[in-house]
Amino acid sequence: MNKMHIASILKSGIKKFGGIIIITLFLSSIVYSSAPLKVSVGKDILFFPINRYPPEEWNKTYGGYGCCTSVFQTNDNGYVITGYLYSDVFLLKLDEWGNDIWLRTFGGKGLDWGMYVQQTSDNCFIVIGLTRSFGSGETDVWLLKTDEDGQELWNCTFGGEKLDEGHSGMETDDGGYILLGVTQSFVPEKNDYWVIKTDKDGIETWNYTYGGIGWDLGMSIQQTHDNGYIMTGATDVSPDGSHQIDLGLIKIDSEGMLVWEKTFGTQRFQDQGLSVKQTSDGGYVLTGVIKAFQDSWKGGDAWLIKTDPQGNKEWDKIFGGFESDVAVSVIETSDQGYVVLGKTDSFGAGKYDLFLMKLDNEGDELWDITFGGNRNEECMGSNSVQQILHEGYIIVGATESFGDSKIGHGPWVIKVAEPTLMVQISGGFGLSATIENHGSDDLSHVNWCVNISGPLVFKTNFEGVIELLPAQSIANIDSIPIFGFGPVVIRLTSGGIGKVAKGFVLGSFIILH
């Protein structure tokens, strides 16, 4: 009997017998939940309190109030990072262990932010962002170039009298630069995607705006294999400019001419693209947020879309729990999978936590990790995660929980090793789980925790410790009792490595999907 058939029978039973089936399931669940939890590795059965230790190699905070928005691994295996520190752009150089080598700040009396950083082909650095201290109007796009020690070589501003911002960009194959953001200065009574192409000295060669009659916003851009450009952001699809916002995907050629434009979303609320990368098959992967409710970020889910080279959707995946979740940055990994960095209010230790999620090439989750404390953490840049040369990942954002929390959130950098644990969740009568150590070392005192969330779920947390998990072995956790009714989100974590499953529970029976 397959899961679809079981679901059909249960649905019919509820309709026919109403409250009788719920009472019956309630009684059966009380009996079922009295069974002890069993964790087996070979012949061992273990149950102990939990301690959490994620696979961080290091994490550090820097400076005072601010946020890291972009990271780039440098030729010496260190890192260069930009963002904002108080009201200035900062440029931070780290060695491979996260020790700061130098810190430079740039700005004036207004608010100035760095949003993208890159080491250039001549071993210098560029920063793309926005400035309220310099330029022509309220806010301008800002492009800075420094030498290898972070000393400014030149800077250029682009904009008019109104709000213009730089959100993304990169060095192009011809040695110049491409910049993406938003402009209000050069479009009447609205804002549009704005792309600026410059030469190697930051002198503009062309600029174009893209958008409809409403509210449009460019967030992420990358040069493509054919020397054109792909960008994502938010596109107003309403015929009257009434803010029905979809995720936008726009392809232009090397001279800025429109090739094609696609939108994805509900056409009701504010769905938005935040990061896009061309993939090894010539297609694109993009990420952002899809919204179920028109209430700020509340109700939003993290969203991943894979398209072919013409921008046609091949598949999409939605991730998250019952609270707000946003996918901020995406990369394709060396194994043709994907890694997504974002923030979550559904999982983790406190309010918003950072989450890092690894997916296979079909977009199915392999593992996730959350980072944070009992306060808010933040990430906000389309290039805030990078896979590093010697395996693992470098991620950047901001934290209120660690560092000098008295002044608000501060710049935060985390180095994450490639996990050696893998976890799986199975449904049926109660939950079952497996924890696999596919590394070369034996692991001791491996913690695990199952968290179940849903509007009508009783007893939502189960936890324990496996005293010994040998290399290349699997631990089975059986007979995890569950009782409730309705949709549920389940997250299993072990050694800081997690995995999320969604399903529907009827008494003590759960169907996962």
- Looking at the predicted structure, is the pLDDT value of residue 113 above 70? yes
pLDDT-based confidence at 270, cuts 50/70/90?
confident
Q: What does the alpha-carbon distance between residue 120 and residue 206 come to, in Å, rounded to a whole number? A: 21
Within the chain, which residue ranges are assigned CATH 2.60.40.10? 3-53+421-512
3-class SS of residue 97: coil
Q: What does the alpha-carbon distance between residue 438 and residue 424 come to, in Å, rounded to a whole number? A: 13
pTM for the structure as a whole: 0.88
Taking Cα atoms as reference points, which of 384, 451, 390 lies closest to residue 417?
A: 390
Within the chain, which residue ranges are assigned CATH 2.130.10.10? 56-416
Burial per residue of 318-337, b for 16 or more beta-carbon CB atoms within 10 angstroms, e otherwise: bbbbebbbbbbbbbbeeeeb
pLDDT at residue 54, rounded to an integer: 55
Based on C-alpha coordinates, what's the Rg of the chain?
24
pLDDT at residue 372, rounded to an integer: 92
Taking Cα atoms as reference points, which of 341, 220, 357, 224 lies closest to residue 283?
A: 224
pLDDT at residue 405, rounded to an integer: 61
Nearest 5°: CA angle at 192, between 190 and 198? Answer: 140
Q: How many CB atoms lie within 10 A of CB 354?
A: 26
**CA separation, residue 92 to residues 83, 96, 117, 323 (Å):** 9, 13, 10, 34
**CA separation, residue 281 to residues 180, 232, 336, 357, 493 (Å):** 24, 19, 9, 21, 33
pLDDT-based confidence at 22, cuts 50/70/90?
very low
Lowest mean pLDDT among 45-59, 234-248, 353-367, 388-402: 45-59
Q: Say which residue, 212 or 251, is predicted with more confidence.
A: 251
What is the domain class of 3-53+421-512 according to CATH? mainly beta
Instruction: Give me the CATH topology for the region 56-416.
Output: Methylamine Dehydrogenase; Chain H (2.130.10)
Helix count and strand count (H, E) for the chain: 2, 41
Nearest 5°: CA angle at 142, between 141 and 143? Answer: 130
Q: Report the pLDDT averaged over residues 147-174.
A: 96
Q: What is the DSSP letter of 406?
A: G
pLDDT at residue 239, rounded to an integer: 72
Q: Report the pLDDT averaged over residues 188-205.
A: 94
The most confident of 30-34, 103-107, 509-513, by mean pLDDT: 103-107
